[in-house]
Amino acid sequence: MDILQEISRYLQSGEDKQVLALTEQALDLNLSPGRILQDGLIRGMAVVGDQFKNHEIFLPDVLLAAKAMTGAMERLKPLLIGDETPLLGKVVIGTVRGDLHDIGKNLVGIMLRGAGFDVIDLGRDVPPEKFVATAAAEKAQVVGMSALLTTTMPVMKQVVDMLRAEGLTHVRTVIGGAPVSAEYAREIGADDYGYDAGSAVEKIRQLVED
Amino acid sequence: MRPTLQFLENELKETIIAEAGVILAELGVEVQNPDVLALLADNGAQVDRAQQRAFFSPDLVRKCLATAPRAFALYDVYGEPTHDFAGDNVHFTPGSAALNILDSETGKMRKPTTADYVDYVQVVNQLEHIASQSTAFIPADVHERISDSYRLFLSLLYGEKPVVTGTFTVEAFAVMRDLQLAVRGSADALRAKPLTVFSCCPTSPLRWSDVTSQNVVDCTRSGIPVEFIAMPLSGFMAPVTLVGTLVQHTAETLSGVVIAQLACPGAPMLYGGSPAIFDVRYETTPMGAVETMMTDCAYSEIGKYLGLPTQAYISLSDAKLLDAQAGLESAMGATLAALTGINNISGPGMLDFESCQSLEKLVLDNEICGMSLRLVRGIEPREDFPALPRLQELLQEQHLLISAHTRRYLRQEHYFPGPVIDRANRARWLEEGGLTLAQRARRRITQLQDNYEAPRYASEIRRELVARMEHEARRYGQETLPERPE
Ligand code: B12
């Protein structure tokens, strides 16, 4: 079997040691880090994502695969140069100011990393200015915000408005959490809404591709 | 004999409590509030200020349990007793703080308004098996900084029952206390006759946020009872096994007991929680899961073993509509909770993972609660022995419908649910319109609204409630409150 397929297969079963060893082997065979990432790791994660969506596997299986992915990524990251396929994109995430609910946001972060995104997690109770400043400084493509309280939803709009006011119109925004919805995203001018970690990955992938 | 349900042998309870003790002593809890940390340090806890951690020895925990009241009462707005949180007494309260309500016209979930909240209070005020109001959802038509105090304001203005509530910020506590003072008249009167219970949530695993730890201290110092709501999520933010989750829940809840009792020895508290399993297929926290309910009942056993009255988020459903799932999950929870003797049962009306209240469901659940309350009154002999005379009477009279014995015991022995639960024969049901459960629930709500009477307050109390709320709203730039019925 092709070594990239093998990486993908071991990744799907969450075997991090094998994935790392095979990544090492692939590098020895002079495969480019970008190809290993794209055709081995990211391809494997795409399969995992589909299986999870279809209830063939459960969240822990996805997280194991994500962990294997992260391990191999650490190895590849310094080797990715020039226009070689970089990470899928850079995403700044956080739970908005006044809100301490971070379980869902953390899960979204784990899944995004697992899918191959570079994630900067600002934690919980994050002031709008910090989302905006970080997105600018880190040249992020996407800002993802989480809120679980009726009282903190409006902070999301502040972030969207502030990004616009700062001229960061190329930064896409996506929101999530129990009180918000696709309608609310439209209402505040956010680009998209995700209802769980799987949909977060899907939506953010689309936003980055557009 | 009162029927009771038991999941844990005493030996297992002892082990769970001992293991929780080791966790509190070795790992401690993170407390993100310097004042609360200082309070703990001054009163015998070992504190690492740099790491914001407090460590509690088994001795300290024992000392705090010793000052905790084994029972306490709640009183309605007139000062009449309504709740006796003692022994296996059971009281129901609506599930609280929903994000949405289920609109009865459209059947869709939406953000609630002041008008919805007033409707809710008018209904719950008359539901005979729901002992207290809770601040069941958040009206979205006021400034978000007053959305927690505003629901308490409406509850006190329109309702008579005590209120299960809580704050979202440190600042809101003052006005939420002052609204209660307006009703009771003085701080001493409020302390003597508590009107509310405040939910205070530690953050699993083993953490107290700045806001919630401060809330515990503020409540206890004003004599306001607290209920600790730890939410370990089995398999995610807690061990996957129910015993492992119970150990963590015990440690988290005992840490609340320590904070409360050191802040104010003798402070009334409920040993509560809202643990859940984590559904790894959907990334949700199902309140209708059987394991969630088992964990609730088991930690209540632990709380009672420690000598404290208890609370749980149980008898709610994750359904999105008033459907069969909504009924079965709520009824199963109410039954198990009542059999366990959980003193304050938070749940009725709630759908969709604690995030949606439905008035239709609330009036249905009221009847479910009625059945559960009947269930735990058990089976008792009442002038049943010797049995011979009664059977002789039956043979002679051909029936017992008008027997003195029947008339004496009918209403004690038989609980009559309705009008939401239907027991008409089919022909009569059809003749009366063949109404669905949702239609019967709606009709019941309309009847209750027609019969509603406002609390018999002196006009000064009413004026003062309004003045305090308006003052609070102006602090956040809201000049007028939304319109509300007289
Ligand atoms: C667990 C929990 C807590 C825990 C939080 C622990 C933690 N570290 O996060 C604790 C106990 C600390 C807590 C505290 C409080 N809580 Co709380 N809590 C919950 C509960 C039960 C579950 C939330 C959860 O973790 N779900 C599991 C995760 C996996 O799901 P999720 O968060 O929805 O996230 C998923 C999606 O939404 C999406 N998503 C989330 N974020 C993002 C972001 C992006 C970019 C995308 C694309 C997608 C996405 O993907 C996630 C993964 O699937 C909810 C009920 C509910 N229905 O949500 C109440 C709930 C949100 N809490 C509530 C309340 C009232 C509070 C308190 C104010 C209570 C109090 N009086 O102290 C405090 C809040 C303090 C504060 N200032 O924040 C209310 C909200 C009421 C309201 N109308 O605003 C709720 C609805 C429960 C209730 N009815 O009382 N809570």
Q: B146-162: per-residue pLDDT in tens?
A: 999 999 999 999 999 99
Atom number, ligand 1, closest to the C-alpha of residue B169: 77
Q: Does the pLDDT value for residue A85 go beyond 60? A: no
Measured between alpha carbons, how far is B174 from A62 in angstroms, rounded to an integer?
46
Section B306-320 average pLDDT = 98
| Strand B344-346 to B91-93 pairing | parallel
Q: How many CB atoms lie within 10 A of CB A84?
A: 14
Count CA within 13 A, CB hemisphere, residue B155: 31
Tens-digit pLDDT profile for residues B277-289: 999 999 999 999 9
Measured between alpha carbons, how far is B448 from B127 in angstroms, rounded to an integer?
9
Cα–Cα–Cα angle for B206, A126, A133, rounded to 5 degrees: 145
Average pLDDT, chain A: 92
Interface of B with A (CB under 8 A): 99-100, 111, 138, 140, 144-145, 147-148, 168-169, 203, 209, 211, 233, 236-237, 280-283, 353, 355
pLDDT of amino acid B418: 93
Amino acid symbol at B356? C
Q: How confident is the model at residue A209 (pLDDT cuts 50, 70, 90)?
A: confident
Helices (H), B319-358: 324-340
Q: How confident is the model at residue A1 (pLDDT cuts 50, 70, 90)?
A: low
Tens-digit pLDDT profile for residues B232-280: 999 999 999 999 999 999 999 999 999 999 999 999 999 999 999 999 9
Q: How confident is the model at residue A86 (pLDDT cuts 50, 70, 90)?
A: low
pLDDT of amino acid A70: 87
B280/A179 CB distance under 8 A: no
Measured between alpha carbons, how far is A58 from A54 in angstroms, rounded to an integer?
10
pLDDT of amino acid B486: 79
Nearest protein Cα to ligand 1, atom 79: B97
Amino acid symbol at B6? Q
Counting residues of chain A whose pLDDT is more than 70, the rounded percentage is 96
Measured between alpha carbons, how far is B365 from B50 in angstroms, rounded to an integer?
48
Task: Give backbone dihedrals phi and psi of B29, rounded to 5 degrees, phi first.
Answer: -125, 150
Section B458-482 average pLDDT = 96
Amino acid symbol at B188? D
B90, B84 in Cβ contact below 8 A? no
Q: Does the pLDDT value for residue A83 go beyond 60? A: no
B214, B263 in Cβ contact below 8 A? no
pLDDT of amino acid A82: 61
| Structure-token pair, residue A9 | 């297969």
| Strand B46-48 to B53-55 pairing | antiparallel
Least confident of A115-119, B161-165, B287-291: A115-119
- Residues of chain B by 3-state class (helix, strand, coil), percent to 5: 45, 15, 40
Measured between alpha carbons, how far is B85 from B482 in angstroms, rounded to an integer?
36
Section A65-74 average pLDDT = 90
Measured between alpha carbons, how far is B302 from B40 in angstroms, rounded to an integer?
24
Cα of A104 to ligand 1 centre, how many Å? 8
Give this prediction's pTM.
0.94
Q: Does the pLDDT value for residue A84 go beyond 70? A: no
Under 8 Å CB-to-CB from B316, ≥6 apart: which residues? B95, B287, B288, B329, B330, B333, B346, B347, B348, B349, B350, B351, B354
Measured between alpha carbons, how far is B159 from A45 in angstroms, rounded to an integer?
55
Tens-digit pLDDT profile for residues A43-61: 999 999 889 888 899 999 9
Amino acid symbol at B447? Q
Q: Has the ipTM of the complex gone over 0.95?
A: no
Q: How confident is the model at residue A77 (pLDDT cuts 50, 70, 90)?
A: confident
Q: Does the pLDDT value for residue A147 go beyond 70? A: yes
Amino acid symbol at B151? R
Q: Number of residue pairs across A and B with CB atoms under 8 Å?
A: 41
A103/B168 CB distance under 8 A: no
B280/A59 CB distance under 8 A: yes
Residues across chain A: 210
Section A61-71 average pLDDT = 91
Q: Which of A127, A140, A145 is nearest to A184 (CA)?
A: A145
Counting residues of chain B whose pLDDT is more than 70, the rounded percentage is 100
Measured between alpha carbons, how far is B75 from A67 in angstroms, rounded to an integer?
54
* Distance between A29 CA and the closest CA of chain B, angstroms: 38
Tens-digit pLDDT profile for residues A149-189: 988 999 999 999 999 999 999 999 999 999 999 999 999 99
Q: What is the DSSP string of B112-150?
A: --HHHHHHHHHHHTT-TT--SEE--B--TTS-GGGHHHH
pLDDT of amino acid A114: 84
Nearest protein Cα to ligand 1, atom 10: B203
Average pLDDT, chain B: 97
A201, A49 in Cβ contact below 8 A? yes
Protein fold of B67-377: TIM Barrel (3.20.20)
Cα of B219 to ligand 1 centre, how many Å? 23
Query: From the candidates A63, A151, A158, which should be mutated to test the interface with B, based on the most B CB atoms within 10 A?
Result: A151
Amino acid symbol at B484? R
Q: How many CB atoms lie within 10 A of CB B168?
A: 23
Task: Give backbone dihedrals phi and psi of B260, rounded to 5 degrees, phi first.
Answer: -65, -45
pLDDT of amino acid A79: 86
B144/A197 CB distance under 8 A: no
Q: Which of B207, B263, B269, B222 is nearest to B39 (CA)?
A: B263
User: b or e along B173-204 (b: 16 or more beta carbons within 10 Å of the residue's beta carbon)?
Assistant: bebbbbbbbbbbeeeebbeebbbbbbbbbbbb
Q: B368: left (phi > 0), else alpha (psi -120 to 50), else beta?
A: alpha
Tens-digit pLDDT profile for residues B50-94: 999 999 999 999 999 999 999 999 999 999 999 999 999 999 999
User: b or e along A170-198 (b: 16 or more beta carbons within 10 Å of the residue's beta carbon)?
Assistant: ebbbbbbbbbbbeebbeebebbbbbbbbb
pLDDT of amino acid A210: 80
Q: Which of B347, B369, B366, B368 is nearest to B356 (CA)?
A: B347
